[in-house]
Structure 1
Amino acid sequence: MKTLGIRLKELRLEKGLLQTDIAKLLSVSLRQVQRYEKDESDMSLSTAAKLAEYFDVSIDYLTGRSNKRQC
Structure 2
Amino acid sequence: MSTPREPVSGGRPLNPGDGDQSAHSAAAVTTWCHWHKGETTTGLLITVIEQASGPGAAVYACEGCRQIYRLEPA
Give the TM interval when normalised to the shorter protein: under 0.3
**Where is the helix percentage greater, Structure 1 or Structure 2?**
1
Higher RCO, Cα 8 Å, sep 6+: 1
- Output the TM-score relative to the length of structure 1: 0.22
- Give the structure with higher Rg (CA): 2
TM-score when normalising by structure 2: 0.21
Bigger share in strand: 2
